[in-house]
Amino acid sequence: MPTSLLIDQLSASPAVNDAQLHTWASGRRVFVSSLIRDMPNERAAVRDAIESVGAIPILFEDIGAQDITAEEAYLSGVRSSEIYVGLFGSRYGVRMPDGYSATHAEFLEAERQGLRLCLFVSSQDSSQMDGSQRDLIQGAQNLYTTSSWSDSDDLGRRVRRRLTELAADELSPWVRVGPTILRAQEITNDGNAIGITAAVRSNAVHSELVGMRDGRAGSIAFASLTDARAVRFEGLSTRTTTTVIHEEQLQLRGDRSSSSTMRASMNGISADEVARRALEDGLFGTSTLGDASWGTRPTDPLEPIRTMGLDDSVLRPVARLLITEHLLGAASAATVDSFALGPSHQGVRRLRISWTPRQPYVNQPRPEPLTIDGRISGL
């Protein structure tokens, strides 16, 4: 991986119109979690906000009679959703048999399932808050950015705005092409030929793309959130309509001459576990490789961006892209299931990543997901 990257930071927040928002939201299930009796107005406002973008709100009071326990019902609602909206007030709620309140259990399940999280904390006086609720909120804020609300109307507006931001993130995914990282408006991929449409705002990124085209670059890296491989640059056409936007059409093709990645167990430790420890040690500065360290070194996919001082709106998706590139490109993962990079506290962030290793043989069970969870500095 090159030691330097060019990132189109000006394309961090693309606009999403109502038609695009509704197309993205159509059929998406959004689970709403809070104490029901404490927040009837807030839950109604959130329901309206979710429906206004075309998504499906999932609230416990809407779940009909079922022959399962209430705990199983609300956790099933979380598992069937893609987005979690958590509303945290002053009360923790009644503890269930597992020791958690329903709201806390729903939040933990949303984390485990890798849902996109939208967390809102009441702006009321924290001195009136239950101790357990304070612990829950502080734990969430150590990992995620939360938003407050003043009244139900304000909450509804904030939820709609957050859903619009999520739509923009997914409708314009980040990609890597050689030493450049940019937002794509569209990606086509037939397993060999890759087409990318992008509105590039960085002149440096545009110039680098032109240089790869005109210089007939050899094998270069390509990565998205679902694919990572070596490719060859086949073409670039640019339509410039303003002095700040370059509408790019890129054509790439898989480089079949690139060598495949070999992975092996070491000293009785599986190749998947060796890869997990190497990533953990590289990101967090730990020393978990131990006897598996022979021939394997810690791996830090985020090294190229550690000193860039990126804004959070750029840092999170780019960090996710680089780690996904490493896991997919090194054949360590079939899918990257969840990624959470917390806010900076005195230069330290909490990072949690879960992925499912590749299935080595079709007659073997699907591997269990692997996770690393620790604190990272320098971002």
CATH number of the domain enclosing 50: 3.40.50.10140
Residue 66 has pLDDT above 90, yes or no: no
The structure tokens listed for 270 are 């599986």
Write down the pLDDT at residue 111.
84
Write down the pLDDT at residue 26.
95
Write down the pLDDT at residue 346.
74
Same domain? For 322 and 354 the reply is yes
Same domain? For 243 and 128 the reply is no
Same domain? For 215 and 160 the reply is no
Same domain? For 167 and 22 the reply is yes
Q: Per-residue confidence at 293, pLDDT binned at 50, 70, 90?
A: low
Same domain? For 167 and 181 the reply is no
Same domain? For 232 and 361 the reply is no
- Domain end marker among 219, 254, 289: 254
Same domain? For 27 and 69 the reply is yes
Same domain? For 37 and 93 the reply is yes
Domain holding 352, by residue range, is: 271-377
pLDDT tens, position by position, 130-157: 999 999 999 998 888 899 999 999 999 9
Q: Examine residue 5 and state whether it is found in any structural domain, yes or no.
A: no
Same domain? For 74 and 198 the reply is no
pLDDT tens, position by position, 76-102: 889 999 899 999 999 999 998 888 999
- CA separation for the pair 201, 269 (Å, rounded): 46
- CA separation for the pair 253, 255 (Å, rounded): 6
Q: Examine residue 78 and state whether it is found in any structural domain, yes or no.
A: yes
Q: Per-residue confidence at 2, pLDDT binned at 50, 70, 90?
A: very low
Q: Examine residue 9 and state whether it is found in any structural domain, yes or no.
A: no
Rounded to the nearest 5 percent, the helix, strand and coil shares of the chain are 35, 25, 40
Q: Examine residue 264 and state whether it is found in any structural domain, yes or no.
A: no
Write down the pLDDT at residue 81.
92
Q: Per-residue confidence at 10, pLDDT binned at 50, 70, 90?
A: confident
Share of the chain above pLDDT 90, in %: 55
Same domain? For 127 and 64 the reply is yes
Q: Per-residue confidence at 250, pLDDT binned at 50, 70, 90?
A: very high
Q: Examine residue 265 and state whether it is found in any structural domain, yes or no.
A: no
Query: Which of 56, 61, 65, 6 has the alpha carbon at shortest distance from 31?
Result: 56
Q: Per-residue confidence at 289, pLDDT binned at 50, 70, 90?
A: confident
- Domain end marker among 254, 281, 312: 254
Q: Per-residue confidence at 362, pLDDT binned at 50, 70, 90?
A: low
Same domain? For 217 and 244 the reply is yes
User: Hey, which residues does 219 pair with through a beta bridge?
Assistant: 232
Count the domains in the chain. 3
Write down the pLDDT at residue 267.
63
pLDDT tens, position by position, 340-352: 887 776 788 888 8
pLDDT tens, position by position, 303-330: 999 988 888 878 889 999 999 999 999 8
Same domain? For 147 and 178 the reply is no
CB 69 within 8 A of CB 121: no
pLDDT tens, position by position, 30-44: 999 999 999 999 999
